[in-house]
Structure 1
Amino acid sequence: MLLYDTLRSGNAWKVRLMASLVGVPLERRTLSIDRGDLAQPAFLAVAPLGHVPVLRLPDGTHLAESLAILHYLAQGTPWWPDALPAQSSVLTWLSFEQDRHMKPLAQLRLLLALHPGGDPLGATCIAHARAAHAALGVLDTQLARQGQDGWVATPDHPSIADVALYPYTCMAPMGGIALNDYPAIRAWLDRMEHLPGYQALFPGQPERNLSTQEQP
């Protein structure tokens, strides 16, 4: 399968991480936002929503949106649980990730690290930081509730909810959000990074998870 991505996309990282964890090889076609690749007709022909990630499936069709791709890749694996209550719990935390978690963390990373120029003391960044800390507080409480070896939505095995929540939580410090006050999150990040098949943002270079550089 072929993945259209960009080097530093947190949403594309979710897909590459999921594929690596379940042992699905992906070919990458890495595009550049700065070069305008995502606005080109060739990309828009396979990505009507105009952003990455997009996965070309074995039958030649294309699947967009990271959460949809995670769900596809997880079918038939423990990453998508069999029991309906567990599936519903996973969906709850996927909704949380999209509605409350990702946006403030991604915006802070963009404004303060990837395209610096935002004012960390300005009203916009302060509002994002407040929302980010609120979301991280909810996540930390849930992880503490699940126990020291538990996962976000399921107690015994990680799910696609863990994969969805991992990248932007991991990269929170890039937006000025320290994780020192979230012990359950820090322990969970460590568990994620020790899973067989874990893939860093830049494969084989986990020390670059917080890098601002475009170079592979």
Structure 2
Amino acid sequence: MILYDMADSGNCYKPRLLMTKLGIPFTRVEVSSHTGETRKPDYVAKNPNAMVPMLELDDGRRIAESNAILLYLAEGTRFVPADKYERALAYQWLFFEQYSHEPYIAVRKALLTFPERAKDATPERLAQTLERGNKALGVMNQHLERNAFFAGSAYSVADIALYAYTHSAEKGGFQLDAYPAVAAWLKRVEADKGHVPIEWVPD
């Protein structure tokens, strides 16, 4: 399989982390939005949404969107709960991550760290992303005060999805020490077998 990837993207880190945990060999192709590569005609022909990650299967079929890739890769493994209710919780948190978490925590970090995004870092945008990102962290912290992971008692795709941008949230100005249950959960995620940091890429 081929993973079209951007090394510093949390969304791209998600499938890279899961494939490593599952021992799935893959070829990694760097396609950076920083340099405009995601908007080049040859890539847009493969993914009209002009974003990464995208997974190309051995038979040539393709899957875009990070959490859809996670669900495809994780099917039939320990990373998708077998219990129907817990599986629904995993989906719930995947949707939460893309709607209520990533647009604020990831975007604020990008505004503050990527030079090409600096023009968009208005005081209003930074204030909005800080407020809503902290709201998302608060929701997570409340859940994790009573639960070790997000979907049942075991690590799942929901934890991978939420870890991807939460673990680096401080680079966006979020104070994780204000969310002790989240901080403890980050350590549990990192202790799970086969964990690799976002900087890791296959040889």
Q: Which amino acid aligns with 1:86?
A: E
Q: Which residue of 2 aligns with 1:170?
A: 167
Q: Which amino acid aligns with 2:170?
A: P
Q: How does 1:139-158 map to 2 (within 5 A)?
A: 139-146=140-147, 150-155=148-153, 157-158=154-155
How many Å separate the matches in 1 of 2:125 and 2:44?
31
1:61-93 Cα shifts (integer Å, max 9, x gaps): 111110110001101101011221111111111
Which secondary structure state, in structure 1, belongs to the residue aligned with residue 72 of structure 2?
helix
1:112-144 Cα shifts (integer Å, max 9, x gaps): 112363697812101110000000000011011
How many Å separate the matches in 2 of 1:122 and 1:36?
26
How many Å separate the matches in 1 of 2:33 and 2:103?
18
**Identity within the alignment, %:** 37
Q: Which amino acid aligns with 2:27?
A: E
TM-score by length of 1: 0.88
How many Å separate the matches in 1 of 2:44 and 2:155?
34
Q: Which amino acid aligns with 2:113?
A: A
Structure 2, unmatched stretches of 5+, are: none
Structure 1, unmatched stretches of 5+, are: 205-216
Determine if the alignment matches structure 1 residue 91 to structure 2 residue 102.
Answer: no
Q: 1:199 to 1:143 in 2, by over 3 A?
A: same
Q: Which amino acid aligns with 1:153?
A: A
Give 1:34 deviation, angstroms.
2.8
Q: 1:194 to 1:49 in 2, by over 3 A?
A: same
Which secondary structure state, in structure 1, belongs to the residue aligned with residue 8 of structure 2?
coil
Q: Which amino acid aligns with 2:49?
A: L
How many Å separate the matches in 1 of 2:64 and 2:118?
30
Determine if the alignment matches structure 1 residue 161 to structure 2 residue 190.
Answer: no
TM-score by length of 2: 0.93
Determine if the alignment matches structure 1 residue 103 to structure 2 residue 103.
Answer: yes
Q: Which residue of 2 aligns with 1:199?
A: 196
Contact persistence 2:89–2:150 (CA under 8 A): no
Determine if the alignment matches structure 1 residue 135 to structure 2 residue 136.
Answer: yes
Q: Which residue of 2 aligns with 1:13?
A: 13
Q: Higher helix fraction: Structure 1 or Structure 2?
A: 2
Which secondary structure state, in structure 2, belongs to the residue aligned with residue 152 of structure 1?
coil
Q: Which residue of 2 aligns with 1:185?
A: 182
Q: Which amino acid aligns with 1:98?
A: Q
Dislocated runs of 4+, deviation >4 Å? 118-121
Contact persistence 1:142–1:152 (CA under 8 A): yes
C-alpha RMSD of the superposition? 1.7
Q: 1:113 to 1:80 in 2, by over 3 A?
A: same
